[in-house]
């Protein structure tokens, strides 16, 4: 999801979520001032509502836009780093991002445990 795509609507994306305009501002902050990579995003100019489907609705079309996007990893990492709870980011749903966060947390815990064991 790019700033241009997300700034075309200022309505709430989902109950309790930030507006697209707020998400765009957060997006820019998350990656500093250099936002030139956003210009390469497949979602540039696509209706942002596609990336925030109603509960239970298909995410297939949004994920198809993300497929093959050259900045897909950047988008996904932004969503993971900023705890995005709604929408499709980097081609992944909320549930898929939760799974990645959980896996990364387990890996960090295992690494910390290994370091602690090695120093003891």
pLDDT(34) > 70 = no
- 117 vs 97, higher pLDDT: 97
Is residue 55 domain-resident? Answer: yes
Assess if residue 119 is contained within a domain.
no
- Tell me whether residue 17 is in a domain: yes
Q: How confident is the model at residue 10 (pLDDT cuts 50, 70, 90)?
A: very low
In a domain, 63, yes or no: yes
pLDDT digits (tens, 9 = 90+) for 66-80: 999 999 999 999 899
Domain count, the chain: 1
| pLDDT class of 1 with cuts at 50, 70, 90 | confident
Tokens of 93: 């749903």
23, 83 in Cβ contact below 8 A? no
Residue 60 burial (C-beta neighbours within 10 Å; 0-12, 13-18, 19+) = exposed
* pLDDT of 36 higher than 80: no
């Amino acid at each position: 999801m790019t700033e241009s795509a997300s700034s075309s609507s200022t309505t709430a994306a989902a109950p309790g979520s930030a507006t697209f305009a707020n998400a765009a501002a957060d997006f820019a902050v998350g990656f500093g001032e250099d936002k030139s990579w956003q210009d390469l995003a497949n979602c540039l100019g696509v209706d942002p509502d596609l990336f925030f489907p109603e509960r239970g609705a298909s995410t297939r079309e949004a994920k198809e836009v993300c497929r093959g996007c050259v900045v897909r990893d950047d988008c996904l990492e932004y969503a993971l780093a900023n705890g995005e709870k709604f929408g499709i980011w980097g081609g992944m749903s909320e549930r898929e991002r939760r799974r990645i966060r959980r896996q990364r947390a387990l890996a960090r815990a295992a690494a910390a445990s290994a370091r602690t064991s090695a120093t003891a």
